[in-house]
Structure 1
Amino acid sequence: MPHALIDPRDSLARQNEKLLRITETLMRRVEQDTDASGLAYTQFQRAVMLEEEVRSRTQDLERALDLLNESNARLAIANRETEAARSNLANAIETVQEGFALFNAADELVMCNSRFGMHMPDIRDQLKPGLGFADYVQVVSQSVFLSLPDGETPQAWAQRRMRHHQDNSVIFNARMTGKRWVQVSEHRTTDGGTVILQTDVTDIMRLERRERERMLDDQARLIRATLEHLEQGVCIFDTQGRLVGWNRRAGALLSIPVGQFQIGNRFSTIFKRLRGDYSFSDHASPRLVLDWAGHKGRREPLSFEIQGRGSRVLTVFMQQMPDGGFVISFTDVTSERQAIRAVIEAKETLEQRVLDRTLDLEDALSEAERANASKSRFVAAASHDLLQPLSAAKLYLASLEQELAGGPPGEMASKATKALQSVETILGALLDISKLDSGQASVHVLPVSLGLMLNQLRDEWRPMADAKGLDFRVLATGVQVASDTTYLQRILQNLISNAIRYTDNGRVLVGVRHLGKAVRVEVWDTGPGIEEEEQDRIFGEFQRLNASASAADGMGLGLAIVERACALLGHPLGLSSQPGGGTVFWVELPRAGRVAAPEPGVAAPAQDGQIGHLIVLLIENDAELRNALTVTMEQWGLDVLACCSEDEAFALLGEIGVAPDVVVADMQLDDRRSGSDAITALRNRFGPLPACLVSADRDIALRDTAERLGALLLHKPFDPGALKAYLAGLPG
């Protein structure tokens, strides 16, 4: 086969040569062969096919040769351009004023210019392409022209240089011999190679040094001028304790001649003069100062005072400088110390005066407290003494009004009763104010049914509101609050009475607003309103906005009592008002968890039923009140046994041989026995008698006593209807 005669691995020329030789051989054999078997024709066909293949291969060879020639031409052009670029790059690098070197990614030197390493002639011959970067650094470190810092070896410098080689960019200055400086700038290329530039910065360094020296001279002059303008004296010493700077103020303060202030003078020389003329403070001594100045290590600042033979006092402050030297400053504090002594003397004098004034104030305070206590006792005693005949007068008038009902005398008796009620209200307010101001008021906080209390106040004040034609409403509520029943009732009573008293037409509304853990009782009215500048004044004593109001309308104590009682109980109090638009007062109360027990001091509502036939034991030490109570209760159809003391009561009961059905006793008796003691003694003799305590005292302890006894408590002057209602509820 023809394909077996040609080796494909031969070149085209070799293959053509083989084909030509085969063709010639076959043609020659065809011409010589005369055999008629047709073998010659077959060989001829093969020769023709081989010739055709040779022609095709020859054409391919010619095309390949043309392409090769074209490629060689282009390669030649590229080589020329490359050589030109390399030549241009080399020329450009040579024109660069700095030393230039390029290392490839394998840290091998590719090329450098003639200025690279020009300051180290001893290593120039070793800076050739192929040099490793580590070898380059080692060679540089061993150069005799490299001036290493004091104490640094070539090996240490080379290690530090190789550590910097890890960074992407490095710039540092290297000092050469002959006071020359080279700035080395090293940067990474994008393919991981390294470019190094070496710049001679000797001139720049010299200019900087001259500029620095000039600036130091300027700074020295500035420092000198600054030192001379300081109020303190300053001395500067170097590490050897030699004087290197000072100002004239130091010589003036220390009284040292100028000749002794010279550069180079030892600290000990100046200190000797200082030690002779000045005495040191207690916590500092000359030895301590000398040891501090001579110490070579780190020193903490030292501060002390020295005093001259006269009155001059200097504060000395010694502080170490960064270079190991130290600075001493002297400050004249003579005037300050004199001022301090004057202040101390004035303080002592002032303290004595303050002590004298304090003693005087204590005496005045004691006198004021005694006067206040005396005033409180007087008000309490006077009120008690007034309440006794007032109670008797109310009872007499009640009896008289009942007998004279229906005629003009009855109307006059009714007016007299109302007048006495006004007096009672004023006396009660005076007692409350006195007790609250004296700090003797005590509270008993319990759960209180706010709805029950508001309903009682509604029934109490509805007649007055109806008489004025007002729409008086109290909204129902079932909330319980934590408060003192007596003071809370007085607070709400005063707020409601004020709203009704100062509202001529319209309405008065009382409601409860819920605030989470608290509630707010609000009293709204459509009265004339209160000017803003008057809203603080109305809580003072004897302050009434309606100047034309009579004493029967109150003495202006209601809101003063409200404010003091709210402060005592911790109940926030406020108001909002618009002139001509009405007013709202509110009191904020904390919620309670359970309903309050009935108060012993609150009487049941009056009833119109008849009182059963009862024997009433009356123990009252005031004759007028005893007689008035006797007349009143006898008019109700009761049998009254009137006594002035417990002993008289037992004697009378023993004499007539009967037991009373109910006891009405005054709390304060003359024989140092109280009405509660009398009730207890009578119960011990006659069993569980119903009882009623009567007292002008409004102390909360009395209410607790009545609650313990299970007795009704009536405060003088009391409403006869309350006593009648209580007695009507007892079995006849």
Structure 2
Amino acid sequence: MDGPVAIGAETRKMQESLTHQTAGPEAVRSAVVFVAEAMLRPGDWRGNMRSVLARLGEATRSSRVHLVICEGGADGGVASLEAEWVAPGISTQIDNPALQGFRWRNLGLARWEDLLSRGDIVSGVRDTFPPGEREALDAQDILSIALVPIFCGHDWWGLIGFDDCLTTRDWSAPEIDILRTAAWIIGAIVERDRATTALEQSRALFRDFAEASADSFWETDPSHRFTRFEGSHQPNVSPQGDGVIGKVPWSLPGIDSADPSWQRLFALLRRRKSFRNHRFTLTDADGEPRYFALSGKPRFDLRGNFLGFRGSGAEVTAEVEARRQAETLRQTLAAAIDSISDGFILYDRDWRLVRCNDRWREMVGDDADLFTPGMPYTHIIRTRVARGSIRSALGREEEFVRECFERRRDPQQPAEIEWSDGRWVRVTARRMPDGGMVVLVSDITALKQREASLLAAKEEAERLHLAKSNFLAAASHDLRQPLHALGLFVAALHKTVRSQRGRSILRNMERSLSSMQAMFHSLLDISKLDAGVLAPERTHFPIDRLMGDLVEEFRPEAEQKGLELRYVPSSATVESDAGLLERVLRNLLANAVRYTITGRILAGARQVDGAVRIEIWDTGVGIPSDQLDKIFEEFHQIADSNQSGQQGLGLGLAIVSRTASLLGHPVDVRSKPGRGSVFSITVPTVSPEDIAPGGCLGETMPVEPVMPRSRVLVIDDDDSVLTSMCDLLGSWSCTVDTARSPAEAEALVKKTPPDVIIADYRLGTGETGIQTLDDLRTRFALDVPGILITGDTAPDRLKEARTSGYHLLHKPLQPARLRTLLAYVMGNAGRRKSKAEVEELSRVS
């Protein structure tokens, strides 16, 4: 707040002279009269407040007189200095920001606020006030003060204050009473202005309502004739345009005075009773019906004499028509709902039933009694569950009810529920904008029955597939044993047969044996794919090397059939599993050679958007268009494909498709019957710089590897296999020990430990080759390589053998592969093999 103001000596002397004069009561009373006259002048009282304060200040010889208005009353509201008069030489406070929007408590004047809000006056000399209040007085140079509260009705509105800055003063009781009178006058004038303003607002509100209202206002005389009918809906009931003035209500056209509703109204009029919303119909000049509603109450003068009725009226034609249209729409909607083939249920925002269709009542049967309008959803669900109507709820009643409530709160996904009569329903709910819910219930029993039939058919197909797989595995194993022995015997004959005739027969035996082996290897590949034991190991390599080797592999067979086999070299470097990709391409080339009778075969590669498409063209028998999707199925063969004279198992293209899918390489086929086919596989390419140094194991191994002299233990329960294996290994300068059982193997190892052990997977004792190898290595602390030979193609057997850690070869065994593997494991004895090496050495195709 402002500090003390220096006052000139002459000014101070004048003020002291004035203040020492006694202000007579008459002067103050005169000032109060002036206050009343000034506040009652036309216009806003605020415009006269400056002169009012000045007159009071001069009459009371105060230094400063001010008006403070309090907003919010005594409940912690704020106060502001509204107007002020100051004597000459006294500091003004009207521009002091601390006195605008202040709180009494913040200035340390909470006691003053409490006193003033109760109607008490705050007055006294500065030195009589507490320290905190004295600081506030000192800030405005006040030596004594009087604050008189102003009330509007019962509300504390503000105060008028009188400050003495030059001398002290004790206000007398008469002076205080006069000041209270002045404050009362100001409060009364403010209250009157408030009331006047409120009245004007009410009048304006009523005028606005009358002008904007759709109602009309009417009066009648004591004989019930209309004397006034004002508003926008005065009925025009005759061709001449006459209205209703001078007419009684029951004389208007279209009124049936015998109607019970009019009889009730006439009784109220005779009894001079109020009535409300009486509805009736009039026919207008054009013969069209118009609908009205009247409300009224009787009028009486001060002596109680009946003057007639006064009331309001409104034309409700639009409302009646809207109701009719709504009813028509409701009936149409109800008909549409009832025609829905599904059950329909509508709940309001409080989850009470609004309606359901006949189809739903038909669906629920004996529970239809629950679906009456107003029935709570909770009661419906719990009652149906208690009655046992819902099989999906049996044994889990409370859990089912909770699920229904959760779907009610969040109806996202349809629910499928089984009823106790065996029917299945799908419940779909949608929330309405008003918070209600629409529920559609579809009978999906037939669908569920079809699904059950399909599931049963699927399970039967899986059972048959498993039976087929087990049969093939068992038959494959039983057939592989003699074929395996035959292959070993044929390999051993190479060093004993010398004549040209004998070698010719031996080559024919090898070709037949090779064809049989190819069939068994196809079964093996399918089993591996079923077992999921083929895991691609992607590397970067030039496709030309792989394709060139395969073409050269099939060239002798093609030339023997008189076919031209040509390969267009490619410089592409691809990213794939070389072994698996080789199987795919070998099968495609084998099919091309097998099913091409005359003409040629062309192999090559085309660059396509970051990949290379390897294509194999042939002029073979071709494939009908309706067979193109079926040729990749297992055991599927085209009827005319055997005209080539060669017949397989129908697994080659199934292997191609599933292996390519495993690699992520798309396979495509185009064909025209009688003209030939084009098979292709698309493989991603990389930069030639990405090729890893070194090559595959097959490139570093010689075709006829040198076998170190070694002792080999062979474990097999088949005498023919033992004999043939002994002959073959003996021809390779190996010392061979043979055992028909794990016990015999144990005795042999105890006597002379071997350098390598070859064991059949199935042994007649019930033990497996894996168990036997593990037991021998553990019991005798052997650190020798182990090789498993198996004729099993069952997926679980393949998984077990693959994860055993031993090298794996499949029957019928190719002697060259066995020799290569033996040379490798013996030449690297004691060196830990990499996973890639083990995988490469164990692959067969």
TM score, norm. by length of structure 1? 0.49
Q: Which has the higher helix share?
A: 1
Q: Which one has the largest radius of gyration?
A: 1
TM score, norm. by length of structure 2? 0.43
